[in-house]
């Protein structure tokens, strides 16, 4: 299906950019008749994806995050790409409470999965990770 | 993010304002832990009325404080939680271990 609108932004992997990423994605989503709740869910999902890149993908190092936003007739697609450490075992990382740090909940992927309609994670160690998330546009659910 | 902490009836009250994401978690954790240490109180009450955004990083700090306080025999209470924040609490399982109250007064009353 043809893309109706698209924006790509590049972010430095800094914690202050997590808020910028989620506000940008919510602004992109605002062209659709989404509910406030849908927009909040998108913000959480994007926040989790970008936080993962800053914390795990690049860690102590700095790197680039590519955030692609695509609008289709029936869905919104967000693709978050990093060129960092990668994830050795994606199915394991996607499980709840995977995080080894007691201060972290290990719920990032769980939130992304719960709040979006599709979640695809592809990763290669030392090459980076791509997270693709889709929110369906359901006309009847808009109001 | 802005945090105000004060003591009321032997409880550390933490009023949080703004967005709770990974950018502010270190400060969030430090302010609370310092206040807990200097006051020596057992219980903590989070007033989340002015929280506009929270993700798993922010929740992680609350969970971390819960683990610490629970181990020391104290309680963690939450008041004035916003609808979008309730959803996140629910999904994370935090609602099973932390009780939510309508107001600070209600929460304090429960102790």
Buried residues in B36-67 as b, exposed as e (16+ CB within 10 A): beeeebebbbbbbeebebbbbbbbbbbbbbbe
Q: What is the ipTM of this complex?
A: 0.92
- For residue A42, the chain B residues in CB contact (below 8 A) are none
Residues A120-132: pLDDT tens digits? 999 999 999 999 9
Question: How far apart are the C-alpha atoms of B78 and B44, rounded to whole Å?
Answer: 9
Top-confidence residue, B84 or A140: B84
Parallel, antiparallel or unpaired: strands B2-8 and B11-20: antiparallel
Domains of chain B by range and CATH?
A: 2-109 (3.30.750.24)
Domains of chain A by range and CATH?
A: 5-142 (3.30.565.10)
- For residue B71, the chain A residues in CB contact (below 8 A) are none
pTM for this prediction: 0.93
B91 — contact with chain A (CB < 8 Å)?
A: yes
Is residue A113 predicted with pLDDT exceeding 60?
yes
Window A:124-143, CB contacts with B under 8 Å: none
Contact A105 B60 (CB under 8 A): yes
Residues of A known to be catalytic? 48, 52, 104
Helix axes B56-71, B25-39, angle to 10 degrees: 20
Report helix, strand or coil for B21: coil
Cross-chain CB nearest to A48 (options B55, B63, B87): B55
Contact B23 A16 (CB under 8 A): yes
Instruction: Using CA coordinates, name the residue in chain B closest to A44.
Output: B55
Question: Which percentage of chain B shows pLDDT scores above 70?
Answer: 100
| Beta bridge partner(s), residue B50 | B17
Question: How far apart are the C-alpha atoms of A116 and A119, rounded to whole Å?
Answer: 7
Going from the C-alpha of A9 to that of each of A38, A57, A85, the distances in angstroms are 22, 18, 21
């Amino acid at each position: 299906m043809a893309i109706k609108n698209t924006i790509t932004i590049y972010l430095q992997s800094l914690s202050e950019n997590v808020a910028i990423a989620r506000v940008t994605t919510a602004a992109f989503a605002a062209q659709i008749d989404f509910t406030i709740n849908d927009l909040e869910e998108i913000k959480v999902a994007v926040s989790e994806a970008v936080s993962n890149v800053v914390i795990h993908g690049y860690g102590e190092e700095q790197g680039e995050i590519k955030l692609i936003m695509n609008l289709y007739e029936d869905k919104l697609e967000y693709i978050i790409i990093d060129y960092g450490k990668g994830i050795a075992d994606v199915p394991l990382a996607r499980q709840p409470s995977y995080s080894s740090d007691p201060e972290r909940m290990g719920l990032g992927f769980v939130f992304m999965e719960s709040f979006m309609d599709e979640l695809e994670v592809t990763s290669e160690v030392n090459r980076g990770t791509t997270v693709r998330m889709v929110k369906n546009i359901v006309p009847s659910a808009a109001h | 993010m802005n945090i105000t902490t004060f003591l009321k009836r032997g409880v550390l009250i933490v009023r949080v304002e703004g967005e709770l994401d990974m950018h502010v978690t270190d400060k969030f954790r430090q302010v609370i832990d310092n206040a807990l240490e200097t006051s020596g109180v057992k219980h903590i009450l989070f007033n989340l009325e002015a929280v506009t955004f929270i993700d798993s990083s922010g929740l992680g700090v609350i969970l971390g404080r819960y683990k610490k306080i629970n181990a020391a025999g104290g309680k963690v209470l939450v008041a004035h939680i916003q609808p979008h924040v309730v959803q996140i609490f629910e999904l994370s399982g935090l609602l099973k271990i932390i009780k939510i109250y309508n107001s600070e007064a209600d929460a304090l009353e429960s102790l």
